[in-house]
Amino acid sequence: MSLLRIVVERSFDTPQTDADMKLVADRERPCLSANQATWKRSMLSTDRKRMVCEYEAADAETMRRIQREAGAQFDRIWIGEVIE
């Protein structure tokens, strides 16, 4: 199975604390494992109200399901390509 780069965009009404992010990551971890998906990295805005997360997964719909199962808020999920 070939894994794709999946981008998850998030926005928040209030700045996210480290504890907020840890709570979601802890709920997400078993869902990622069960679906053979991997978190790669996240970028958090300096005001902590926007975040972009990069994962590897089979497809975008799998990542949507993972986010819903984990109770993780998201705005958009799309397949991306890394350009370096």
pTM for this predicted structure = 0.93
Residue 9: what pLDDT? 98
pLDDT of residue 55: 98
- The domains of the chain, with CATH numbers, are 4-80 (3.30.70.3090)
pLDDT 10s per residue in the chain (84 long)? 689 999 999 999 999 999 999 999 999 999 999 999 999 999 999 999 999 999 999 999 999 999 999 999 999 999 999 898
> 75 by DSSP, 3-state: which?
coil
* Distance (Å) of CA 38 to CA 33, 47, 48, 59, 73: 7, 26, 23, 12, 18
Query: For residue 13, what is the DSSP state?
Result: S
28 Cβ contact list (under 8 Å, min separation 6): 39, 66, 67, 70, 72
pLDDT confidence of residue 82:
86
